[in-house]
Amino acid sequence: MQSHPEVAVLRYGHRPGRDDRMTTHVGLTARALGADRVLFPDNATQAAETVRDITGRFGGPFDVERTTELNATIEDWPGVVVHLTMYGEQLQSVDDEIRTTHREEPVLVVVGGEKVPGDVYEAADWNVGVTNQPHSEVAGLAVFLDRLFDGRELEQGYENAERRVIPEELGKHVVDVEDGDHAEGAAAGDGD
Ligand SMILES: C[S@@+](CC[C@H](N)C(=O)[O-])C[C@H]1O[C@@H](n2cnc3c(N)ncnc32)[C@H](O)[C@@H]1O
């Protein structure tokens, strides 16, 4: 993908056990849809490990960090902050402006879990609703990143991958990059 100012995703809040899968998926979605980095709350140990493991196997660059400083990350961000919330302005009315700003400035995308405090709404440059209906941080993040990159993230390549999926009309085709593109075929429908 064309180089651009950094895009980082901040997962605001995490309940170990209950949120492990959702927080992991925030990280995997950030990586797959073009963000450069995800920041998790410090207690999201398991999710951070899983996203790092996937990045090791399927490539990067993509950084995974944990922080105790969620509010300071927002306050000290050296660019613009977009907070995704069902209560925000409609994505389709602000996406042009955000894309234009991103030509020059890094973007921090904040997604919540449990209740997000009012301070985050105040600190954000944009509170953005991906529709104004309740759904999920993973869905909101995916649609937002696709609009931010205007679809270019779908073409991005990954460096230092151990494994690569070869797109197939039917079935699963994964090559082991280190072993000189050795194909490991698997029948369709036999799990992940
Ligand atoms: C379980 S939801 C909580 C819904 C929440 N009351 C809100 O402000 O959107 C967790 C997170 O999903 C994201 N989310 C849910 N619906 C959204 C929407 N329509 N647009 C953007 N983000 C959404 C927000 O980041 C929210 O913090």
Pocket of ligand 1 contains residue 135 by CB under 6 Å: yes
Pocket of ligand 1 contains residue 118 by CB under 6 Å: no
Structural domains counted in the chain:
2
Dihedral angle over CA of 176, 177, 180, 182, nearest 10? 20
The per-residue pLDDT for range 93-115, each reduced to its tens digit, is 999 999 999 999 999 999 999 88
| Structure ipTM | 0.95
What is the rounded CA–CA span in Å between residue 29 and residue 191?
20
Of 9, 21, 82, 85, best ligand 1 pocket probe by most atoms within 8 Å of the beta carbon:
85
Amino acid at 116: V
**Ligand 1 centre from 31 Cα, in Å?**
20
Strands 126-129 and 80-90: parallel
Domain check: are 151 and 170 in the same one? no
Strands 80-90 and 63-67: unpaired
Pocket of ligand 1 contains residue 113 by CB under 6 Å: yes
The per-residue pLDDT for range 55-86, each reduced to its tens digit, is 999 999 999 999 999 999 999 999 999 999 99
Q: Look at residue 76 and tell me if it is in a domain.
A: yes
Domain check: are 102 and 176 in the same one? no
The tokens describing 9, both together, are 């995703």
Domain check: are 22 and 99 in the same one? yes
Helices (H), the chain: 20-32, 45-58, 70-75, 91-102, 118-123, 137-149
Domain check: are 106 and 186 in the same one? no
Q: Look at residue 166 and tell me if it is in a domain.
A: yes
State the residue range of the domain holding 15: 7-161
Domain check: are 171 and 117 in the same one? no
Whose C-alpha lies nearest to ligand 1, atom 12?
Answer: 137
Residue in this structure with the two tokens 């969620």, named with its chain if needed: 70
Q: Look at residue 125 and tell me if it is in a domain.
A: yes
Q: Look at residue 156 and tell me if it is in a domain.
A: yes
The per-residue pLDDT for range 150-181, each reduced to its tens digit, is 999 999 999 999 999 999 999 999 999 975 44
| CATH number for the domain that contains residue 44 | 3.40.1280.10
Return the axis-axis angle of helices 137-149 and 20-32, rounded to nearest 10°.
10
CA pseudo-torsion sign 183, 186, 188, 191: negative
The per-residue pLDDT for range 9-60, each reduced to its tens digit, is 999 999 999 999 999 999 999 999 999 999 999 999 999 999 999 999 999 9
Of 21, 84, 87, 130, best ligand 1 pocket probe by most atoms within 8 Å of the beta carbon:
84
Domain check: are 109 and 60 in the same one? yes
